[in-house]
Amino acid sequence: MALARTTWLALVLGAVVGALSAGYLVLVRLLTGLVWDGTEPRLPGEGAWQVLLVCVAGGVVVGLLRGRHDRDAPHDLEDVLAVLDGLTEPGAERTPLPKATWLLRAGALGVVSLAAGASLGPEAPLLLMASGLGQRAARILRVTRHEAAYLSSVGAVSGLFGGPLGAVVLPVEGSRRPAESHRLIGAGVVAAISGLVTLLVLLPGEGLHRYALPDPGTLDGRRLLEALLWTVPAAALAALAGLALLLLMAPARGLAERALPHPVPRAAAGGAVLGLLGVLQPLALFSGEHSGQELLDAATSAGVLALLGVAAAKLLATLACLSTGWFGGQIFPVVLSGMAVGLAVAVLAPDVPVGALAAAGGAAACVVLLRRPLAVVALLLFFFPLSAMPGLAAGAAVGMLVLSMLGDRVPQPAHAGGH
């Protein structure tokens, strides 16, 4: 594509899918607000049964949608990224286009999952719908399907990922055909900025998610070195949390499908597990994107076991959702789990800045799960202040060390089915 035409196309596509993202987020929040008041369901009476009822009912609806969408729908963010990367393969232009009804059902599946309290984020449904929209518009725009899908994808999730860096790098890092993907980075930045600006115009304040960290005091050379040393065990333990989710997803999904072959009882069972965990630990519900601040605020008064309990509950809730047909992304839940582990280590080292260990934990867990260190650091730099950069870098490095030690034993993402 010529540079001027590419720039204009990126601007237009970014704005269109930025508006799509805004509409999707508004729909999710409206439905969530009708069902929930914080982490309490809007049902008459009181009792833990309310949370369980809402989650199971949500699972039934998820299962009904999966009944029409089970074999050909991506399950999570990795599946969606694999589909996007598959468009770089030779012959991809000749594969059938995603049907509009298929995209709408996938979007509805995401809306219901998120509004019912799933421990998942909105990035996977948004990426799927935006990339599908781009593919369908590619011929009209006179570009390849991969070009249109990539520009649409980064424009759609730019607001979620805090701007162009995380959105642009996520679909590119780890691509099997890097030359094909890397040449679009410049246009991707334009599309991401256009999408972010459109989203912020329609939803002012949407991009303001930065965590407020406790004042670390004066960090002289000795304290800074001590903080960096403590990030290593914090990141190593958090990496194990991300690794657990990574290794358990496929076996748990296979077990759920064998035990409950029909999607309705399977998704309802996932809702039951989610609801029970939500009763025990409310932070197990929802994506965790905004719960990070709540966790940071409670870190100074919470104990090690309580914080590790948050991490475990969040991982189990995410695993229950992903293995039973609920649809969403796993970035924000695993970051929250990693932060909880890092904060548990901070309890043992009260003189070490809390923010450094939380950042290291969140980065390490997410890097192990996604296997994309640059994208993870770029994403988390939006949530954490720049002063947390050493912790983020240390966490990402430890996460990559864990992955390199495991080598081929780490599961690789597979292509989703057709549509």
How much is the pTM? Answer: 0.91
Confidence at residue 417, expressed as pLDDT on a 0 to 100 scale: 43
Confidence at residue 414, expressed as pLDDT on a 0 to 100 scale: 53
Confidence at residue 416, expressed as pLDDT on a 0 to 100 scale: 41
CB-neighbour burial class of residue 350 (10 A; exposed 0-12, middle 13-18, buried 19+): exposed
SS (H, E, C) 138-177: HHHHCCCHHHHHHHHHHHHHCCCCCCHHHHHHHHHCCCCC
Torsion of CA 402, 403, 406, 410, to 10 degrees: 140
Return the higher-pLDDT residue of 93 and 9.
9
The answer to whether residue 187 scores a pLDDT higher than 70 is yes
Confidence at residue 72, expressed as pLDDT on a 0 to 100 scale: 65
Cα separation, 212 vs 291, in Å, equals 12
Per-residue pLDDT, averaged over 225-235, amounts to 86
CB-neighbour burial class of residue 225 (10 A; exposed 0-12, middle 13-18, buried 19+): exposed
* Tokens of residue 312, six digits: 């475990």
- Domains of the chain (ranges; CATH) run 3-202 (1.10.3080.10), 221-409 (1.10.3080.10)
Q: Of 119-128, 197-206, 214-223, where does the model show the most confidence?
A: 119-128
Cα separation, 166 vs 373, in Å, equals 10
Residue 177: HSE in the Cβ half-sphere, 13 Å Cα cutoff: 14
* Tokens of residue 263, six digits: 């999607």
Confidence at residue 415, expressed as pLDDT on a 0 to 100 scale: 44
Q: Of 231-245, 369-383, 403-417, where does the model show the most confidence?
A: 231-245
Cα separation, 70 vs 324, in Å, equals 11
Note the pLDDT tens digit of each residue in 115-157.
999 999 999 999 999 999 999 988 888 888 888 999 999 998 8
Cα separation, 312 vs 18, in Å, equals 34
Per-residue pLDDT, averaged over 209-236, amounts to 77
Confidence at residue 288, expressed as pLDDT on a 0 to 100 scale: 85
Return the higher-pLDDT residue of 127 and 173.
127
Cα separation, 382 vs 44, in Å, equals 39
Cα separation, 313 vs 300, in Å, equals 20
Q: Across the strands, what pairs with 37?
A: 40
Confidence at residue 339, expressed as pLDDT on a 0 to 100 scale: 96
Beta strands in 62-168 (DSSP E): none
**Smallest Cα–Cα separation from 153: which of 205, 208, 95, 88?**
88
Task: Give the three-state DSSP class for 36.
Answer: strand
Confidence at residue 207, expressed as pLDDT on a 0 to 100 scale: 57
Q: Largest alpha-carbon pair distance within the chain?
A: 63
Q: Which of 215-219, 239-243, 301-305, 306-310 has the lowest mean pLDDT?
A: 215-219
The answer to whether residue 175 scores a pLDDT higher than 80 is no
Q: What is the mean pLDDT of the chain?
A: 87
Confidence at residue 286, expressed as pLDDT on a 0 to 100 scale: 95
Note the pLDDT tens digit of each residue in 14-68.
999 999 999 999 999 999 999 999 889 998 877 788 999 999 999 999 999 988 6
Confidence at residue 180, expressed as pLDDT on a 0 to 100 scale: 66
Q: Which residue reads 């070490």 in tokens?
A: 352
